[in-house]
Amino acid sequence: MKTFKIEESVTIDGTDRALIRALQLAPRGSFSRIGDVLGLSEQTVARRYRRLCREGVLRVVALVDPAALGQSTWTIRVRCRPDGTAAIAGALARRDDVGWVALSAGGSEVTCAVRSRTSEQRDELLLQRLPRTSPVLGISAAVMLHRFIGQGTDDWAAFRDALTPAQARRLAGLRPDPPGPAGPGSPARLEPGDEPMVELLARSGRASYAELAAAAGTSEGRAARRLAALLGGGLLYLDVDLSAPLLGFTAQATLWLTVSPAHLDQAGRALRGHPQVAFAAAISGPSNLTASVTCRDLDELYRFATTSVGAIAGVQAMEISPVVRHVKQAGAIRSGNRLMDVLAR
């Protein structure tokens, strides 16, 4: 079996790759069901999963979608004095309404995603706190108008070949959280009693119904129905968070594209078809299409930008902003390349 020895002494083999892809397709699938598809024992799947979590390679989480609450997601680029970049990035990473934070532009720019639940929380950051911070030289804010890819657990398709098509179909058909009956518990908004479950799921999207019930002070049946309602109603979505560098992908970048309006939708859909792209969205501003790209190395990034993106009709300009370091990712603080605050379930 082929193995990969990569940074910080994390070794990933073909079984790990298959498990990662299985979790992308069935993030809350039971270890026994996943093992059945992969031809592994339940104990082997559980042991492998917990190792990947412990070593900071993998997290399965459930996150609140601001759009379901009537709010928007904003992408912020903060130009900083070099001596203040780390402090700005650290302060942003500590905020609950900032989903990810990255250092780019050679370390002189902080890019982040603001996912506030209320307009007051968003405005406090964008209109008051950031502009008054002394290391900040300039702020560029763009609202996400349309997401083409980036809120599905299997969006990053680098490990698509780790499973056979038959295995992928079986895993995609697993429904560990079937929709519950409609009724008073169906979400039109987050209820006060949801918060303990939401906080736990933000750390471990595979938390059991017993753990969710204990956190919320309710029964397992009620916790199961409420989780199904939150997921089915779109207030929560599952995400499989991965440390790309620990998996051997050392070149990550944000693309800022200027596309003619008539070609914008077509260009976004074209980006969605490439395995290097885990996120792509139409945004406001002169760069009206952005994408997060993950490649094995800079050579692959160059080929992707010049060949794949260069062939998309309507692209008038492209800025490639290499990511120097991720400070926060899917709500998790990064320690080097390792995802922290992991509860293995």
Report residue 248 as tokens. Answer: 């051997």
The mean pLDDT of 315-322, rounded to a whole number, is 96
Q: Dump pLDDT digits (tens) for 66-92.
A: 888 888 899 999 999 888 888 899 989
> CA–CA separation, 194 vs 239, rounded Å?
19
Query: Which one, of 223, 155, 159, 121, lies nearest residue 22 by Cα?
Result: 159
3-state SS class at 75: strand
pLDDT tens readout for residues 202-237: 989 999 999 999 999 999 999 999 999 999 888 999
Q: What are the structural domains of the chain?
A: 3-65+153-242 (no CATH), 66-150+249-339 (3.30.70.3460)
Return the DSSP state at 273: T
pTM of the complete model: 0.86
Per-residue pLDDT, 341 = 61
CA angle 120, 281, 333 (to 5 degrees): 60
* CA–CA gap between residue 98 and residue 122 (Å, rounded): 10
8 confidence band (pLDDT: 50, 70, 90): low
- Percentage of the chain beyond pLDDT 90 is 61
* CB-based contact 196:217 (threshold 8 Å): yes
Write out the two tokens for 13: 């083999």
Cβ(231)–Cβ(189) under 8 Å? no
Task: Select the highest-mean-pLDDT range: 101-105, 281-285, 330-334, 339-343.
Answer: 281-285
Cα separation values, 107 from 78, 142, 277, 335, Å: 11, 21, 23, 17
Top-confidence residue, 48 or 5: 48
Average pLDDT over residues 8-19: 86
Burial 257-268 (b: 16+ CB within 10 A, else e): bbbeeebbeebb
pLDDT attached to residue 345 = 47
